[in-house]
């Protein structure tokens, strides 16, 4: 059973074309408000991507 869960996001819908899961258009602020603690984010770009860990997200939520 996996211990890490994440959502995949992108500014470009075409970058997510191969992902079969349902998609929603959200702002970053809406996404942070909707994600429960412990969920991480994979950001996909045409030329690569980044991974935002739960620790980074916790820090950001506290800094807001």
Give the chain's domain count: 1
Which residue range forms the structural domain that includes residue 21? 5-63
50: which strand partners? 43
Q: Which pLDDT does position 51 carry in this prediction? A: 95
Task: Give the 3-state secondary structure of residue 14.
Answer: helix
Q: Which pLDDT does position 2 carry in this prediction? A: 64
- Contact predicate 1/35, CB 8 Å: no
CA–CA dist 59, 30 (Å, integer): 17
Q: Taking the model in full, what pTM does it have?
A: 0.80
pLDDT tens for 10-59 read: 999 899 988 888 899 999 889 988 998 889 999 998 889 999 999 999 89
The structure tokens 């991974």 sit at: 51
């Amino acid at each position: 059973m996996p211990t890490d869960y994440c959502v995949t996001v992108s500014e470009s819908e075409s970058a997510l074309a191969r992902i079969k899961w349902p998609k929603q258009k959200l702002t970053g602020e809406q996404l942070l408000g909707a994600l429960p603690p412990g969920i991480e984010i994979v950001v996909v770009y045409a030329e690569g991507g980044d991974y935002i860990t739960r620790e980074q997200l916790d820090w950001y939520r506290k800094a807001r």
